[in-house]
Every structure is written in C-alpha cells, then in structure tokens.
C-alpha cells in the first residue's frame, strides 16, 4: 500500500496549482494512463477571475461552482458557492474514478474552503485517499479545515508546493514520482 503514489499539490491562490495538475494529467494520458475525477477551472471575465467551474475530467461535463455574482446562502470570500454543482458533477466524477477499474489515477482539484461546504465531497475525498488507487489532489494552502488538516497529517501523501519559481519544472517532477510508482500499463 505504501507504494501507491499519493501526491498533494499546494500553493498560494492563483500560483498555478490547477495548471500544474492539468499538465501532469495530459502527459500521463499521452502515455496511456486513464484518469478520472474532478477539476475546478477559473472563470475569467475582463482578465479577472470571477468564479470557478467544477468539471468532470472524463466527461467534460461542467457547471458554475462559484461566482462573485452568484446569489447563494453559501459564501466563501467574495464568491457565492453552488454546492449542488459540486455534488452533481464533482462527487460522482470522484466516485467513478474510485470504482471504475479502467481508471488508473484519481484527481481531485481542489480540496479547499468552498468544497468543504459539502459533507458528501468531504466523505468522497477520504474514500478516494483511502482507496488503493494512485491519486493527485490540490490543496488550499492556508485553510485549516478539519479535512485539510487530516489530509496534511496523513503519512501516505507527499505534499509539494507550487511557487512562481518552480511551477514550470514541478509538473515534470511530480509526473516522474507518479510514473516511478505506477504499475506498468501492459
């Protein structure tokens, strides 16, 4: 079980955690690995980030997860949060990645303050981390929620930080760590 690669990617907001993760996913897919799970992508308007989509990596189904103009009882900072979008798209994408034997690697982007508002999301993250599949997750750097604290304390996950200095090389380093420990494809 110790040989299953589990990587946590952390860093300050807007430093490039999702971009780093997507570069790794795309390289691994080019070499034949099948990847499942969820990604959050920024919504950019007039060169400013105004929200996030939640996207199923495999089906590419997506919906607005958070937006500055969203009227929602759930808020994190300036964003209204759509928990339903996360539970309708993100949670099933992670469940499928855990249970579908054709999927080699689980991805969860991001385990952050907004996502913590969903108990179902928190439960599926723990299930994914406890599974016997390789996993890559992005982690909010400063949040001190119980789930993030638990993830950071796990001894089976290696946490690496994206910085402006290392963000071009880090994807290759993480990909190398993953491939060294992944079972061969044939």
Question: What domains are there in the chain, each with its CATH number?
Answer: 6-181 (3.40.50.300)
pLDDT of residue 144: 80
Whose structure tokens read 């996993």? 135
Contacts of 6 (CB under 8 A, 6+ apart): 129, 134, 135, 136, 154, 156, 157, 158
User: Considering only CA atoms, which of 6, 3, 5, 4 is closest in space to residue 139?
Assistant: 6
* Tokens describing residue 82: 């759509």
* Gyration radius of the chain over CA positions: 16
The DSSP secondary-structure symbol of 118 reads -
Cβ-based burial of 114 (10 A; exposed 0-12, middle 13-18, buried ≥19): buried
* Tokens describing residue 120: 């179902």
Which pLDDT tens digit goes with each residue over 30-58?
A: 999 999 999 999 999 999 999 999 999 99
* Tokens describing residue 162: 């994206």
Average pLDDT of span 165-169: 94
Place 185 in a pLDDT band, splitting at 50, 70 and 90: confident
* Tokens describing residue 134: 């390789």
Place 186 in a pLDDT band, splitting at 50, 70 and 90: low
Is it the case that residue 2 has pLDDT exceeding 80? no
């Amino acid at each position: 079980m110790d040989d299953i690669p589990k990587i946590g990617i952390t860093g300050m907001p807007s430093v490039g955690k999702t971009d780093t993760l997507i570069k790794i996913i795309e390289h691994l897919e080019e070499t034949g690995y099948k990847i499942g799970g969820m990604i959050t992508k920024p919504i950019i308007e007039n060169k400013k980030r105004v929200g996030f989509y939640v996207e199923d990596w495999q089906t590419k189904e997506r919906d607005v997860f958070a937006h500055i103009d969203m009227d929602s009882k759930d808020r994190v900072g300036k964003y209204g949060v759509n928990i339903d979008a996360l539970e309708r798209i993100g949670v099933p994408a992670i469940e499928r990645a855990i249970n579908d034997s054709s999927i080699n690697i689980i991805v969860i982007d991001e385990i952050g303050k907004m996502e913590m508002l969903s108990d179902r999301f928190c439960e599926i993250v723990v299930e994914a981390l406890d599974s016997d599949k390789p996993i890559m997750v992005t982690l909010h750097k400063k949040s001190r929620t119980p789930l993030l604290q638990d993830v950071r304390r796990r001894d089976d996950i290696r946490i690496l930080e994206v910085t402006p200095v290392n963000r071009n090389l880090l994807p290759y380093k993480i990909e190398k760590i993953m491939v060294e420990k992944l079972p061969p494809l044939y």
